[in-house]
Amino acid sequence: MSTIPSTDSTISESGNIELSEFWQHFRHRHVQVGGVNMHYVEGGSGKPVLLIPGWPQSWYAWRYVMPALVAVGRRVIAIDPRGLGDSDKPAHGYDLGTVAKDLHGFVEHLGLLADGPLDVAGHDVGAWIGYAWAADWPDDIGRLALYDAALPGITPAGPGGTPSEEVNTRTWHFGFNRLTDIPELLVQGREKVYLDWLFTSKMLNRSAITPADLDEYTRVFSAPGAARAGFDYYRALFNEGGIAQNRERGARQLSIPVLAWGASGGVGNVLLDTLKSVADNVSGGTIDACGHYVPEEEPDVVIEQLTTFFVD
């Protein structure tokens, strides 16, 4: 794997990209939105597509999908929401309403709505954000594709009692990340070990995230305030206010087309079934032989799905 330098000398190198031509088509960008410095990677021309990563990742999770969308004539923007990647890590504001407002401000600032609503895809926490954005700012998004996540406050809670080993492996961090202070204390200085365990335990394609990729994710997760910011997404969503916020969204039916794909080694059909209860026009299913990190484990499948779904 080669190290590809940034094409913008004002922005530090963003890690290792397998695609040797990647930086011929993409550039790092930064913009201030509501006092938050937002980082994104952009390339191509045409109708915009905005990609939202999950936790504990960054725009980099979409690196295999981005060139294919550019190749079919789209302007592709992969953003680091507040607290993730190379964007700012403010002390507050990790409830989904605030993060959705960030993205509304971001697309308005860049003039991305000039030709109509956007196509948006989100994975994991990026799916939480994408859903909240579509519900809170319905004129911003024309088509929404979501990958491998449940929607807290909307997805029915699982059965009580002791979870199976498989379920515990997939979900233990939801409780851990919500705890006050102790996650930061235990993870600090051990970020790479923590991330390696998360990735390895949730992937079925173990080669999808390489040692060099792990180094890139460790770089951004080890930045000052990054671990705390990531944990704060869980603290903000799973408290009473965050759950109430999402339940209120669920009372407002989405009318836009929604694509919902889970992974066989992830949430399966849970996302599709959840969205059928809050959206009028939903399609999707389960991607076989795939773990949680769908855009990296099965990028060709995601590319086919998005290039088909995001067609005018």
Catalytic positions are 124, 234, 292
Count how many residues are written for the chain.
312
β pairing state of 118-123 and 47-52: parallel
Residue 266, Cβ density class (10 Å: 0-12 exposed, 13-18 middle, ≥19 buried): buried
Instruction: Look at residue 65 and give its three-state secondary structure.
Output: coil
**Closest to 250 measured CA to CA, from 105, 116, 153:** 153
List of E strands, the chain:
26-33, 36-43, 47-52, 74-80, 118-123, 141-147, 254-263, 279-287
Beta pairing partners, 307: none
Strand partners, 227: none
CA–CA separation, 135 vs 117, rounded Å?
Answer: 13
Q: CB count, 10 Å around CB of 19?
A: 16
For 285: left if phi > 0, alpha if psi spans -120 to 50, otherwise beta; the answer is left
The residues that bridge with 284 in the sheet, in sequence order, are 260
Non-local (6+) Cβ contacts of 302 within 8 A are 65, 147, 294, 295
